[in-house]
Structure formats: structure tokens, C-alpha cells
Amino acid sequence: MPAARRGQAATCWLVQLGNGDNFVFDIGSGAAANLASLEIPYDELDKLFLIHLHQDHIGDVPALWIGGWTGGRHGALKVWGPSGHRPELGTAAMIEALQATYRWDHTSRLGVIPSRGGDIEVSEFDYRGVNEVVYESNGVSIRSWPAIHTIDGPISYALDWNGLTFVFGGDTLPNEWYVEHAAGADIAIHECFMPPDLMMQKYGFSPRSALNVATTVHTVPAAFGEVMRRVAPRMAVAYHFFNDQDTRYPIYEGIRRTYDGPLTMADDLLCWNVTSDDIRVREVIVDEAVWPTKSSRPPDEPSPADKVHFTDFIAGGRLDLSATLDPLVDAFKREHGLE
């Protein structure tokens, strides 16, 4: 959900394939710390697919971009996402604006650490494409089709590899494209929102706002169940609700009114191990205090030419501690063979 809480991050799905490829789908607020806790080098978390541009789906893009850069990513963060129905509402415009927002941050690191990890490469595609391939490499293809959510632009993704299909529907009202193109998927994720009475009791919404959000923007549990009854996946995954002791059962019962197939109610750090003949749902146990996981490649070197230097005014205010620092710096340089 957009309102942050320690106990549950906003949307993010990591797909790890047997060919070694990793794909990140959305990275909402709080998700970057969870992703880091899986101890995967940032070099291998450089493909990010965005489903739409709400804060609960993109809030931690800066943490993956800048944090992943300082955490050892060698190259650009690559971002895929939909266009909008006006150019300024598309993924490319959002990333360009984000880069402008973080211009001081980005500029300040150049010449100090390697520059290339601070780049972003964007691939924007038409949100109106129906089951169109938006990515194809190394035996993996990713398709997109439109979702129906607040205004034009949101989409759904399906990833196909090795005879297996993962579908992430994103936020959407029940729609015909999802039912058609997610049919029979191995993992089918679709939003399942809190019913309006829960939004009033727990989120403090008025009856009108609760009804608006639950029925004109999102999919309530009984409707989620109807969608999954038609899709008949090997595993249906419901997400987009605060998963608490007192909320999961009303949502579960709503789904079970219309769907009796395999079901997972999403929460942080759940893991689905998928093969052609089995799906196991497990909970990942993580270290709370990880450091960035080292890449298999040695770190690049910074480019001094990229450095933006202090003005004479600011540099002139520096306290002269050379008598203390020079011997320490000289010893470090000798130890590591630096000029």
C-alpha cells in the first residue's frame, strides 16, 4: 500500500530463472531493503520492469538506482515500462524527471566512485500493445497487455521461459485481456484489494472514498476469485492488501466465495519454487543487517575527469590536518599499490 509501514513493503517481485537471469518487477517503498536482504549482487538486479507509475510500485527506484550504484553495479540500471496517453505521463518522462531530481546526488558521486553504474537506460513501450513482446533475450520473453487502473498507462506482464509462465497483472480492475493472456499460467499474480468496509475501519476512509477505491480503481476479493476461476493458474497469488491476522481472513473468505483453486495470500519474503511438476511456497529467512553483496567482477575505477570540483571559496574552508592524515594516506597507498 502507498502508506508505508515497517511490517510490509509495497509491491516488488523478483523472478529468478534456472538460466541465471534475474528480473525485478516493480519496486515500491520499502522493497529495496527486502531485495537487498536476498544477498544478490546489484549487477544481477539491473533489469527492472515497471507495471505503472504509482508510488507504491516505483517508490524505491532511487534506492535501487543510486543504492545499487554505490553497492557495486557496474553498468546502467535498465528500466522497462509503459508509455502514457500523453508523453509526459510515460515511463521515460518519469525517469528523466527522477534523474533531474537526483542531479545533485548523481553529480556529487562522479569521479569519486566509478561513473557507469549511475546511468539509467529506459525502454518505453506502447501501453496499448495487446500481448506484445517487450523483451526477448537468452530464451526469455516478456509480453505486455493493458490493465485498467485509474487512468490510461498501466499494463500487465507475462514472462515465458523454459515452458513456464509467470504473470504479474499489476493493479487493475478485472479485465478481459488478463483472463485471455494469463490463462493457465504457472504463477498468476493479480491485485486483490481490501473490501470497502475494511478500508473504512482500518485505513480511515469515508464510505464514498472507500467505495471509489475498492470498486472503480481496484479488484475486491470476490472479483479476484472470479478472475482466477477463469484463468485457472497452477498458483494464484493475491496481493495489494495489508496482510494481518484480522484482515487476511475476510479477504480469504471473499476470494473463496468464487474460487477454490491453489492460492497464496502475498506477504513479504514469500518464495515460490516452480518446476513443471511442483510448486512449493516457502518463506525466506534473511539477515537483517546485510552489506551489499559483492559482484563476481572486480570493481571498476573512478574517472577523475568526471569530478566536479569545489569552488575556491568552499575548498578554502578546509581544516589543514595534513600532518595527521598524510602518513595514513601514504601508508594506505603503499599497501594497495596506488600512485
Q: Which stretch binds Zn ion (CB under 5 A): 47-55, 247-255, 261-269, 303-311?
A: 47-55
Q: What are phi and psi of 71, to 5 degrees?
A: -85, 5
Choose which of 54, 143, 181, 190 interacts with Zn ion (CB under 5 A): 54
For Zn ion, the closer CB: 227 or 274: 227
Q: Which is nearer to Zn ion, 89 or 183 (CB)?
A: 89
Q: Does 60 bind Zn ion (CB under 5 A)?
A: no
Q: Which is nearer to Zn ion, 34 or 115 (CB)?
A: 34
Q: Does 26 bind Zn ion (CB under 5 A)?
A: no
The residues that bridge with 47 in the sheet, in sequence order, are: 78
Assigned C-alpha cell, 335: 599497501
Q: Nearest to residue 81, comparing CAs of 106, 110, 58?
A: 58
In sequence order, which residues have a C-beta less than 8 Å from that of residue 160 and are 6 or more positions away? Answer: 140, 141, 142, 143
Cell of 70: 554505490
DSSP reduced 3-state for 311: coil
Shortest distance, CB of residue 11 to Zn ion, whole angstroms? 6
Of 54 and 181, which has the nearer Cβ to Zn ion? 54
Collect all residues with Cβ–Cβ distance below 8 Å to 308 and sequence separation of at least 6: 107, 108, 110, 111
What's the closest the beta carbon of residue 141 comes to Zn ion, in angstroms?
Answer: 25
**Out of 171, 186, 225, 239, the residue judged to bind Zn ion by CB under 5 A:** 171
Q: At what angle do helices 248-256 and 221-231 cross, to 10 degrees?
A: 50
Give the separation between CA 122 and CA 91, rounded to whole angstroms: 8
Closer by beta carbon to Zn ion, 47 or else 54:
54
- Classify 142 as helix, strand or coil: strand
Residue 160 touches Zn ion, criterion: CB under 5 A: no
User: Is the CB of 118 or the CB of 196 nearer to Zn ion?
Assistant: 196
**Closer residue to Zn ion in complex, CB, 80/193:** 193
Residue nearest to Zn ion (CB): 54
Nearest approach in angstroms of CB 240 to Zn ion is: 6
What are the residues whose beta carbons fall under 8 Å from the beta carbon of 314, sequence distance 6 or more?
Answer: none
Contact segment (CB under 5 A) with Zn ion among 12-20, 54-62, 175-183, 314-322 equals: 54-62
Assess 56 for contact with Zn ion (CB under 5 A).
yes
Exposed, middle or buried: residue 224 (CB in 10 Å: 0-12, 13-18, 19+)? buried
From the list 55-63, 64-72, 208-216, 266-274, the region that binds Zn ion by CB under 5 A is 55-63
Q: Which residues bind Zn ion (CB under 5 A)?
A: 54, 56, 171
